[in-house]
Each structure stands twice: as C-alpha cells, then as structure tokens.
Copies of this chain bind each other. A is one copy, B any other.
Amino acid sequence: MATLGDIGLSAALNILSALIFFLAFALLRIQPFNDRVYFPKWYLKGLRSSPSHSGAFVRKFVNLDFRSYLRFLNWMPVALKMPEPELIDHAGLDSAVYLRIYLLGLKIFVPIAFLAWAILVPVNWTSSNLNGKQLLNVTSSDIDKLSISNVPAESPRFWTHIVMAYAFTFWTCYVLLKEYEKIASMRLQFLASERRRPDQFSVLVRNVPPDPDESVSESVEHFFLVNHPDHYLTHQVVYDANKLAKLVKKKKKMQNWLVYYRNKFSRNDSKRPMMKTGFLGLWGDRVDALEYYTTEIDKLSKEIAEERERVINDPKSVVPAAFVSFKTRWGAAVCAQTQQSRNPTLWLTDWAPEPRDVYWKNLAIPYVSLTVRRLIMGVSFFFLTFFFMIPIAFVQSLASIEGIEKAAPFLKPIIEIKFIKSFIQGFLPGIALKLFLIFLPGILMIMSKFEGFTSLSSLERRAASRYYLFNFVNVFLGSIIAGTAFEQLDTFMNQSANEIPETLGVAIPMKATFFITYIMVDGWAGIAGEILMLKPLIIYHLKNFFLVKTEKDREEAMDPGSLGFNTGEPRIQFYFLLGLVYATVTPVLLPFIIVFFALAYVVFRHQIINVYNQEYESGAAFWPDVHGRVIIALVISQVLMMGLLGTKEAAQSTPFIIALPVLTIWFHMFCKGRYESAFVKYPLQEAMMKDTLERAREPNLNLKGYLQNAYTHPVFKESEEDEEEDHEVGGDSWETESARVPTKRQSRRNTPLASRISGVSSPSLPDAVVEQP
C-alpha cells in the first residue's frame, strides 16, 4: 500500500515529465523546420506554406526570436480561443464533438468533486475505523482515512454515501441528457447546413443476388428503376480491386526506394548505389540499385495496367454491391431506411458512408459469411480478453518490490533506497500496464475488419467498444482483484450474484492509490507526451532527409495523424469509470481525474486545430456509444457501491441502492428512444427541406455528373492521377485536385510512405529527376 509520500513523489515525477514534454514541445514547435510536424493541418488546408521562402538560411531551420521562447505555454490560450462553430468548420463535427467528451468529464466531475470534498471527505475523516484497526497491525495509508474504509461497519454515516450516490447519479444523468440533446441538434444542424455531399444522395446496396441473364450493373439498374422509379438516378458498381491495390502499394514502395537511392547517388556521385535483392537486403545477388528498381517499377507498371484492364473488363471482378444514387435526398433517405426485397438478406440497403470512409475490402461479404464471422470474432474476443491477463499479472507481480527482490535478490540494496522504492511502487505498475495495451488496438481493428463492417467509422466504433470491454475486464477488474485470467473467471463463476460485488467492493478502496498513479502516468504525462508528436517528428525528418525532393514530397512526408477514436475514446471512458466508481468511495481521486480532463481538453483542442487531419467525417455518429458507456460506468459504480455497503453490514440500506441501477438503465432506454435515431436515421422532413431549397437555388444542377464518379475505388483514382502527373511534372495541381476529389487524402494517410512522384510509366520523368541536381 503506497503512502501519501509515494503518491506525492509520483505526482512530482509526473508533473515534472509533463512539464518537460511541454517545454520540449514549446521549443520544437517554434523551429521553422518542424513547422510541418506541428502545424500540418494548416498546410493541408492550404492556409500555410513553408516558412523557408524568405529570410536567412539559418532562419529556415532555427527560430532566433528569443522572445518566443519565453511564452512557451502560450499555445494553451490560443487553443482555447477558437470558438466551437469555427472549430466545426475547421476540423469537422467529429473532432468538435470528440472534444466535448472531455468537457463532459469536466461538467460531470467538477461539481461532484466539490460536493464530495465538502461532505464525504469530512464524514470519512472524522470516523475512526482505521485507527482502531491500526492497533491490530493492519497498515493503512493516509488516503484511506479520507475514504469510505475509515467508516466503521454498521455506522449510520453510510446514509451520507447513499444520498451522495443518488446525487451523483442524478447529476451525471442530467449532464448526459443535456449533452445528448445538444449533440443531436449539433449533428442535425451540421447535416443540414452542410454543402452537397455524395453520401447524402447515395445508398450502399449489398448482397445483390446473382442473375444468370444480367450483369450486376444491369441487375441493379433494373431493380431500382422498377422499385424507385421516380427517384433513381444512377449507380456505380464496386470492383474487387484488392489485388490492384496491392500492386499499386508495392509500386509506391519501390518508387520510394528508387528515390532514396537516387538521392544517395546525387549526394555521392562517385559510386552508383548497389544493393542485394534478397530478404531485407541481407543476401542475394548484388545489383545496381537504380537499375534494379527502375526495371522492377516498369514491370509493376505493366502489371498494374493489365490488372486494371482485367478488373474493369472482367465481369467476375465486379462484386455484388453497388452505390446507388438518387435524384433527391428524400429518395436516398427512403431507400436507406426501408427493406427492398422479400428476402431480407438480399438487396440490403444502408446509408452510403462518405467516400473517404468506405472500407472497400468488405463490401462483398455475403450474409451467411458475415454471421459466421461475427460468431468467430465473438468467441476469439472472449478468449483474448480472458487470456491476455496472464502476462499483465505476471509483469505486475514482477514490478512490485517483493517481486523484484524475489526475482533478483542482488538488486535488493538498490531497491531498498527510499527514492527508488517509491519510484517502483508509484511508477512501474502503471507503465507495465500501459506497454501491454499499446499492441491491443491493432489486434482489435483487425478483428473488426474481419467482421465485415463497411466503413472506417463503424470499424473504429466496434474496435472502441471491444477495447472498452477489454479495459474493463483486464485493467479495472484485473487490477482490483489481481490474479491470472482463469483465476478471476473461476472466482466469478464460483461466487454468487451477491458475493461478486462484495469481493470487488471490498477491494476498491484499497486500490485507490494504484489508480491515482495510473491516472498520473497515463493521463497526465501521457497526454503531455501526445502533444510532442515524437514519432511523427522523427519520421518526418527521416523522410525529409531521404525522400523529399520537391515541395510536394514534403507535403507527403507529413503525418498529421488523426484522433484515433478506437483507442482514444475507451481511454477517456476508463477515466469516467474510475471517477464514478471512486466518487463515493475515495473522493481523493477526483481532483486527479479533473486535472486529466482539463489537460487533455486543452492538448487535444490544440492538436485538432493544428495537427490532426481526420480521415473521415461521420457527423458525431459515435455519440450514442459514448453515452452508453458512461451509463455502463454509472451502473457498475452503483453495483460496486452496493457490494461495498453489503460488506459493511449496512444491509438495511441495500434496497435504496437497488433502485439506482434500475433508474439508470431506464434513463438510458429513455435517452435511446429519444435521441438515438438522430444518429442512425435521416428524417424525411430534413431531406425534403434541403431538396426544396436546392431545387430553388440551383434548378439546373447536373447532379448526375456530380455523382457519377463519387464512389470510385481509390486505387483507380490514384492510378489516374499517376497518368495525369506524367503530363504535369512538378505542377502544383495538388490544391485544386484536393478540392475536386476529396477522397484522395485518406488513401494517402494510410500509406504514408507513398511518394506521389511516380511517372515511371512515362519515359521522361526518371531522367528529369536524375538530372535535377
């Protein structure tokens, strides 16, 4: 059990590291040569260009204005200054609403913290349970004196906690309700005020039944001409271009290497770069690198051209799915919300995701396969959740003083030094846990992809809810009743419905200090580290050194990243869970959580304004998930409170707490019915309004032309661009293109190594590049 001193040391350490991160950030961001790492959003929006255009050579790389070093925290007020409507305009609704999750945390926990410190802390502190026990040699820290542990069994003081539990629940629900209402209206306003988008008119149709007499395209056209005669406009079939995409990706990689060797050669003219063809360049024939890559790229280009021909002409490469576009938003809204065919697994219609948001690989999965995939993933996730705990528990047991002394007795003298001991106790368990969790989101994303979701946003939402569950079982429960996976599962299987909350409830106050250090490591220092963008910084400078030739290359070397809903949101939710569980039990924890929410809000606001470039815009479609998980946290906190009071033999108070989860779940159902459909459906009233407006404003709009190619597989667009670029080498077509075809950016984000100088299919470019220096 860590003492108040340990916590203090840990806090000092974490505040120090947070400060170091902020300082480093402040220094790095004002250096011009880092400008593209710390302000990529502005470059992508075309509102900022490289600062190297004018001034002395040194100024290009180092900021010599010393005054700017003094104001090293002035990014904070700047980040807070941008008003919300402008933020939505600048970064999209997804980002703006994501920030509101942090605000929600502040709104919930600041009043709760005040109330808890004003009422619960004095009530706990003036009790005397632990004083009595200390005589019996049970150690307890100072923090425990402020917690519910200090109230002796059967004390009437528990009524305070029950009343507070009610107050906290009502406050949380009230804030949640207001927030849901606000965000639903923000979403509808966003959708309504937005400019024309292809996905407003389009519907994704899947499971088109095979027809012996007609191609998929004909079949789709006929079906919709018959069943939506007044509204059907056009459609686009989906090609199975997975192989083509793979080839294009391979070519881009080759091109990067080619550029790399060219740069190397241009720096050192004396000898042509050589390389080995085998695995990782470790063995194989030694060849001239430039020649090798040029021929390889030529070969690939031909292959790509062939494959493109094949994909477009072979009817077998058309998957049984299509994007169907309608003349009006009303028509699309109707088609997306209704069932088309007798057989509900055929002609499945759904809102088309934004073109950037489409996950192309999954469009062709038939219904039966989908359900089987879901079963497999469900079972795998169960095993993943319950077996992943073995390594965590192992590392955590190592990372304790006793564990280390046992495993490596020779370290004993070092460990026993007070400072190091505190460090190990306050810091290591958090880090060990954190490290394990880094690899997880990737696995969960792959699992979601396998499950067959058709848009990136739904993939991320699914991965997020899995991640939350995982966090709950492994980090929360796993930390409270430490033990290996099976032990824990076994405990639960063998305990009664009454005992499980009690087991957990008893352990909860004791784990407060652990979670406080966890909050500081993960929430304070971790968030501060986020702003430093260490990985993109390094990668950018590496690329800048090896690959960048032109301004455009530099553009591509930027890796602005994005919010990462699948990892970020479950992380925030974990703080909601901790906050709500400990609000009545150990209110000391609340200020730490408030600091986290405030800090994260500022940092992420800055990042969203200056750095992140969202891959897609779902219009805050994730909010029902966020809301639902806060409710889950609330119910868990109530059940654990019930268990805790059970062990305190305050049994006569249990009925009063049973009502709480019932009411909370009812509140959730109420909100679901009231607001959720704003996030999954598109009201006809809205659609009609926009249609009417549009018809009045632009009566001669060529909608068919607008929608014709909105949903082309990105790989086709890319290769088209390749062709285009051959004829406009070095041309600054980027900005205009991006305005014309908003889908491009996504594919680029996913393949950050891709250089867009290709031109291999044209004979002129390689020479031009080689000649340049």
Give residues in A with beta carbon < 8 Å to B.
188, 223, 226-228, 230, 333-334, 337-342, 344-345, 347, 367-368, 371, 374-375, 378-379, 492-499, 662, 666, 669-670, 673-678, 681-686, 688
Contacts and interface: CB of A to CB of B under 8 A. Distances in A.
A227 B684 contact: yes
B495 A688 contact: no
18 contacts: A226-B685, A226-B688, A228-B684, A230-B230, A333-B338, A334-B334, A337-B338, A338-B683, A338-B684, A339-B683, A341-B683, A342-B685, A344-B678, A345-B673, A493-B496, A496-B496, A496-B499, A497-B497
Interface centre among A379, A496, A498 (most CB of B within 10 A): A496
A228 B371 CA distance: 36
Given A230-B230, A673-B345, A340 B685 contact: yes
A675 B226 contact: no
B496 A342 contact: no
A375 B684 contact: no
A-B residue pairs, 10 tightest by C-beta: A344-B677, A339-B681, A337-B338, A375-B666, A494-B496, A371-B670, A339-B683, A493-B498, A334-B334, A227-B688
A675 B344 contact: yes
Given A333-B338, A340-B684, 5 more contacts: A228-B684, A338-B683, A344-B677, A345-B674, A496-B499
Contacts of A492: 497
A342 B685 CA distance: 7
Contacts of A367: 673-674
Contacts of A345: 673-674
Nearest to A687: B227
A338 B681 contact: yes
Given A334-B334, A339-B681, A494-B496, A371 B188 contact: no
Interface of A is mostly: helix
Contacts of A342: 188, 678, 683, 685-686
Contact of A340 (B371, B493, B669, B683): B683
A669 B371 contact: yes
A227 B367 CA distance: 34
Given A338-B334, A493-B496, A497-B493, A371 B685 contact: no
A384 to B, nearest CB: 16
Q: What is the oligomeric copy number? A: 2
A322 B375 CA distance: 43
A333 B338 CA distance: 8
Contacts of A227: 684-685, 688
Nearest to A677: B344
Nearest to A490: B498
Contacts of A494: 496-499
A265 to B, nearest CB: 59
A682 to B, nearest CB: 7
A341 B341 CA distance: 26
Contacts of A230: 230
A328 B392 CA distance: 62
A496 B337 CA distance: 44
A496 to B, nearest CB: 5
Contacts of A340: 683-685
Contacts of A334: 334, 338
Contacts of A498: 493-494
Contacts of A374: 666, 669
A662 B379 contact: yes
A371 B665 CA distance: 12
A383 to B, nearest CB: 12
Contacts of A496: 493-496, 499
A493 B676 CA distance: 34
Contacts of A368: 670
A347 B333 CA distance: 16
Interface centre among A226, A344, A669, A682 (most CB of B within 10 A): A344
Contact of A681 (B228, B344, B666): B344
Contacts of A666: 371, 374-375, 378
Contacts of A674: 344-345, 367
A294 to B, nearest CB: 52
Contacts of A684: 227-228, 338-340
Contacts of A497: 492-495, 497
Contacts of A685: 223, 226-227, 340-342, 347
Nearest to A666: B375
Contacts of A669: 371, 374
Contacts of A499: 494, 496
Contacts of A188: 342
A661 to B, nearest CB: 12
A655 to B, nearest CB: 12
Contacts of A341: 683, 685
A339 B673 CA distance: 12
A685 B345 CA distance: 14
Contacts of A226: 685, 688
A347 B677 CA distance: 13
B493 A339 contact: no
Contacts of A675: 344
A636 to B, nearest CB: 18
Nearest to A663: B375
A653 to B, nearest CB: 17
A497 to B, nearest CB: 5
Interface centre among A230, A340, A681, A685 (most CB of B within 10 A): A685
A351 B392 CA distance: 53
Nearest to A682: B339
A312 B343 CA distance: 45
